[in-house]
Structure 1
Amino acid sequence: MLLPMSPADSVFLSVESPQTPMHVGGLELFFPAEDAPSPAELFSQLSSGSTANDVAPLFKKRPRRSLATAGQWAWEEDRQFDLSHHVRHNSLPQPGRVLELLALCSRLHSTLLDRQRPLWELHFIEGLADGRFALYFKVHHALLDGVSAQRLLQRILTKDPAARGLPPPWANRPAAPRPAQQQPAPPSPEELVANLLRSAREVATDVAGIPSALVRTVNRGLQSQSAPISFAAPRSMFNVPISGSRRFAAQSWPLERINRIRRGARCTVNDVVLAACSGALRTYLSSMDALPEAPLIAMVPVALRVRDRARESGNALGAVMCDLGTHLADPADRLRTVRRSMKEGKQALAELSPLQIVAMTGLGMSPLLLQSIPGYAELLRPPFNLIISNVPGPRTPLYLNGARLDGLYPLSIPYHGQALNITCTSYTDELSFGLTGCRRTVPHLQRMLGYLEDELTALEQATG
């Protein structure tokens, strides 16, 4: 049975190539419990005993495009599903440092997922010298986005350190019974017609407002103000065609350090993250003699409350093109620039309806689809220089068969013209940075971790 694939999801399959794998990933580090079995036994517990019938339908979907689908991508069940292909056991070479772990994740993140099979893999990794083990999970963006993948992987985790025998993330779980609720009375024919007319009128109003929203958005972009569209991004070493090889660097910092800077500067955690990235990027590019005179522009996904005609307010996801202030030498000036840019961008989005935000954000990102055309990235300015995102994570400690989750690091998607991606996520009292870059285009990526530490220290001093 073929299931239709949404146009948005099919784009990730259509633009994928050996140079641009379109999967996201996550790395989780664990400290084993005192009574924990050996790593080999842990892997056996995680992977054995499951048959194809025990696997949730999501994990058995593979993509297909044929005459039967009119040339469009669709999903079908893999009737020869092989769990051992998707769940794998890895051991690090000596001396088993985090450096070897990140190198392995870099290689795993560089390879395409097999389209003849469901588009996911889970790697159990042992051999760290300090006794920890790791899980690396990768899944195609057509199947799950990064946030959904992170939440799904956390299904095997629990807040109870004594819990054992939890089902794996791919387990076919029965749907939880919903509490009985009193059903509202059905609307009368008059109310139904009135609701339909009101909804149609609201959609028509939003659509009619798109041209004026576009004019306002483009004007802001032309004036170098923050908006979903930017015309100010300079050419940089990140905005070129890339290879398929990846390098991954990751590190965590105490959230209290970030919060001290936030309180001192009266800004948001995301402002501090962006300012730290700004300073680290400035130092990195300067060391390569590749710092543009104009400031780098980062595309920053944001969630915000916006006006909604159907309700008093509504939620919407959009993107702000943030001026990182990388042309400024003073860290305090960079932080002020980031704070002002993000505030302006959020205000600009808040003036739009959710439908208009989606339209403007899509328009601002649409040039990415042209980056794979030979020569495009060299001839025209990039729509932005890199993506920096901050995704909230679990606030309480989590456990896997008694093993405590010690670190959570996201891996994302570089693309032609966007050779570096920085994604952050929080866990308990730490903020973790995951830097994913093209191995050839962004050399010595691990140095960025030291530059991030230096910039956080400089921001602490600048904010007292």
Structure 2
Amino acid sequence: MSTCPASGYWRRVVARNTTSPYGKGQGDSGRAPMTSISILDYAMFLTETRESPRHVAGLSLFDPPADGGEDFILRMVEDMRAVPACPPFNWKLGSRLGALPVWTETEPDMKHHVRHLALPRPGGYAELMKLVSDLHGELLDRSRPVWEFYIIEGLPGGQFAFYLKVHHAYADGATMSRWLDVSLSTDPKSDKFRPMWSLAGPAGRRRRQQSLTQVLEEFGKTAGRQLVSVAELYTMILKHSLKALRLGDSKVPIPFTAPRTLLNQRLTAPRSVATATIDLERLRRAGKAAGGTINDVVLTLCDAALTRYLSEHGELPPKPLVAEMPVDLRAEDHEDGGNVISILLVEMARGNMNVDERFNAIRDSSHTVIKEFSGLSNDAVMTYTLVVQVLAQLGDSLGLAERLPPLGNLVISNVPGPPQALFMRGARMTGIFPLSTVAPGTVMNITVFSYAGTMLFGLVAGRDAIPDLQQLTDYIPESLVEFEQSLGLSDQENAEKSSAARIKKTTKKKRNGKKSAPGATKGRNKKTGTP
């Protein structure tokens, strides 16, 4: 079995999670090392179906290095396949009789996991998005480590793309963001080359070798936490019950009371993806002028775009939409992967509100929900998330999703990324678009990612349910222009940026001899920090 590079990051993770690199594994019994899987991570497998895969992905675009040479891509493919895979990228799901499955280590076939594709000539971004849409709708092979990496060439101006797809049981968006930051360099002259699978570190915790005293002590702590968690969940259920009886004033939406719209159709396997890019400073400036945050502005723009789209299709509900909003529960120094998240329900705005009223309603709703849940323990919040998501999946699997009120209408997630430009062997990453999974009972996910002074929107939807996803995506930057005008912030530069914030079709004319990248905006990008 290949050896992982002993990076400083890897040494820190192993030292914290186990008394030896493998615990009681290959060195002790001759068997492949095994690692426990958390209930939340395993739930990603339990809720997975052919129509609803549970993987997350990122689409990265790169400008070619000036001195890369004609064989730059081929050399990169060969070098990537030669790099051994470390946990979790050499883990596959193994079974245990009468217990939760475990991660077992294996030797990945790197030619299967690292793939080289070329778009048909003349190539273009519409072809790239069609290819990625098809790839994103395919299940990962559970008989192997559950990840795939694609190097895609054939784009205008020598650009190339990376498409990394990993199972959600390996990582959430925050984990993938950290991997990205570590794997690339801020120095355009650096020859740094560390693929994510060479340094990621465990997605779960290895089981320690413990004495009986330690086992009993840990059991006591766990039981205590669970008692607190049960009490907190009981309080939350009581608040929901009082609200349902109109005897309470909680602003936290009751699960499974969202309005039914075309966003809650039965999901089929084919996927569509679409992207948009907005200057981060515009979002920050609008949020400050309106008395809120960048995340408040993002939620408002998404709600405004969805309201417009639903209205045009005669599907605007009388009640506000409900967004499922993932929240990272890790401490700042927490480095493990896997999933340490909660999914909170946030009531959006009513369809007849103007953009200012929409912003105020969503800001108040999201801040109230976060404040109410911040008083609960992580165990309680994660248990709440697991229960409602499993119930939503159960209704979906039993064919009841179209008869019962949905848990929410879609997922909207905001993942902070690196504030500075990143490079891979001199090739500048011009953008990375997050592409996530679709929640049970819904047909769409919107994830945003901040990078080098821009906010990158990645939309994923069931193709049969939302065949015109790019049209809906175009409404997001257009909604920002409307919001800026209401705040007195509109100017010609912003209008030009918004008008160009969509994927350019290959049939359109080239600007300055080059085609624009997915979601690219005109004008300069101010390099500012993440939200």
Q: Paired residue for 1:77?
A: 105
Match status 1:376 vs 2:412: no
Deviation at 1:350, TM superposition (A): 2.8
Contact 1:63 1:116 in 2 (8 A): yes
Q: Aligned partners of 2:423, 2:330: CA distance in 1, in Å?
A: 33
1:212 aligns with 2:266: no
- Closer, same or farther in 2 for the Cα pair 1:194/1:103, shift >3 Å? closer
Higher mean displacement: 267-276 or 336-345:
336-345
1:58 aligns to what? 88
Mapped to 2, the partners of 1:385 and 1:74 lie a distance apart of 33
- Unaligned stretches of 5+ in structure 1? 176-188, 307-315
Kindly state the Cα deviation for residue 338 of structure 1 after the two structures are TM-superposed: 0.4
* 1:66-124 deviation per Cα after TM superposition (whole angstroms, max 9, x unaligned): xx544743222234x31011111111224422222111110111111112211111100
Task: Evaluate the alpha carbon distance shift between residue 457 and residue 7 of structure 1 in structure 2; reply closer, same or farther with a 3 A threshold.
Answer: same
User: Distance between the aligned counterparts of 1:444 and 1:382, measured in 2?
Assistant: 23
Are residue 14 (structure 1) and residue 14 (structure 2) matched?
Answer: no
Q: What SS is found at the alignment partner of 1:88? A: strand
Deviations 1:366-401 (A, max 9, x none): 432223334311110001111101000001111000
Letter in 2 for 1:230: P
Structure 2 residue corresponding to 1:287, chosen from 312, 334, 346: 312
In structure 2, what is the equivalent of residue 232 of structure 1? 257
Is residue 412 of structure 1 aligned with residue 436 of structure 2? yes
1:344 deviation in Å?
Answer: 1.6
User: What secondary structure, in the 3-state scheme, does the structure 1 residue paired with 2:433 have?
Assistant: strand
CA distance in 1 between counterparts of 2:437 and 2:114 reads 22
**Match in the other structure for 1:181:** none
- 1:219-253 per-residue CA deviation (whole Å, 9 max, x = no partner) reads 35665853264353101111122111110001110
One-letter code of the match for 1:90? L
Q: TM-score, normalised by structure 1?
A: 0.85
| Alignment pair present for 1:150 and 2:174 | no
Residues 415, 196 of structure 1: alpha-carbon distance in 2 compared, 3 angstrom cutoff: closer
Provide the aligned length of Structure 1 versus Structure 2: 434
Q: Does the 8 A contact of 1:389 with 1:424 survive in 2?
A: yes
1:396 to 414, 420, 423: 420
Q: Alpha-carbon deviation of 1:218?
A: 4.3
CA 1:153–1:354 in structure 2 vs 1: closer, same or farther (change >3 Å)?
closer
* TM norm structure 2: 0.75
Which residue of structure 1 lines up, in the alignment, with residue 502 of structure 2?
A: none
1:159-204 deviations in Å (ceiling 9; x for gaps): 11111152322236999xxxxxxxxxxxxx9xxx999999976764
Q: Partner of 2:116 in structure 1?
A: 89
CA distance in 2, matches of 1:441, 1:128: 29
Where does residue 186 of structure 1 map in the other structure?
none
Residue aligning to 1:361 = 385
SS in structure 1 opposite 2:307?
helix
The amino acid that maps onto 1:257 is R
Q: How much has 1:457 moved relative to structure 2?
A: 0.7
Question: Residues 417 and 449 of structure 2 are in contact (CA less than 8 Å); yes or no, is this contact kept in structure 1?
Answer: yes
Q: Does structure 1 retain, via aligned residues, the 8 Å contact 2:448–2:457?
A: yes
One-letter code of the match for 1:268? T
Amino acid across the alignment from 1:233 = A
* Aligned equivalent of 2:73: 42
Cα pair 1:214 1:360 within 8 Å, conserved = no
Of all paired residues, the percent bearing the same amino acid is 34
Q: How does 1:22-421 map to 2 (within 5 A)?
A: 22-38=54-70, 40-48=71-79, 54-65=84-95, 68-70=96-98, 72-79=100-107, 81-171=108-198, 204-220=227-243, 225-227=250-252, 229-303=254-328, 317-421=341-445
Q: Which of 423, 429, 432 lines up with 2:456 in the alignment? A: 432
- 1:228–1:320: 8 Å Cα contact kept in structure 2? no
Contact 2:179 2:200 in 1 (8 A): no
Check conservation: 2:389, 2:440, Cα contact below 8 A: no
Match of 1:311 in 2: none
The equivalent of 2:472 in structure 1 is 448
One-letter amino acid of the counterpart of residue 109, structure 1: H
Q: Aligned-pair distance for 1:303?
A: 4.9
Q: Are the equivalent residues in 2 in contact too, given 1:122–1:135 (CA < 8 A)?
A: yes
For 2:260, what is the secondary structure of its paired residue?
Answer: coil
CA offsets 1:307-355 (integer angstroms, 9 cap, x no match): xxxxxxxxx9544322221422411111111011112212211333333
269-278 vs 202-211, greater mean Cα deviation:
202-211
Q: Tell me the SS of whatever aligns to 1:149.
A: helix
Following superposition, the deviation at residue 214 of structure 1 comes to: 2.5
Compared CA separation, residues 415 and 318, structure 1 to 2 (3 A): closer
Change in CA separation of 1:207 and 1:17 when aligned onto 2, cut-off 3 Å? closer
1:116-167 alpha-carbon deviations (Å, 9 max, x no partner)? 2111111001111132111000011122223223332443310111111523
Whole-Å separation in 1 of the counterparts to 2:85 and 2:482: 50
Task: Give the corresponding residue for 1:309.
Answer: none
Distance 1:351 1:61, change over 3 A: closer
Work out whether residues 230 and 383 of structure 1, in 8 Å CA contact, stay in contact via their aligned partners in 2.
yes
Equivalent pair of 2:225/2:379 in contact (CA under 8 Å): no
Alpha-carbon spacing, 1:105–1:332, altered in 2? closer, same or farther (3 Å):
same
| CA deviation vs aligned residue, 1:51-75 (integer Å, no higher than 9, x gap) | 58x332422211233xx54474322
What residue identity is the alignment partner of 1:262? G
Give me the whole-angstrom Cα distance separating, in 2, the residues matched to 1:294 and 1:62. Answer: 44
CA contact (8 A) 1:239 1:416 kept: no
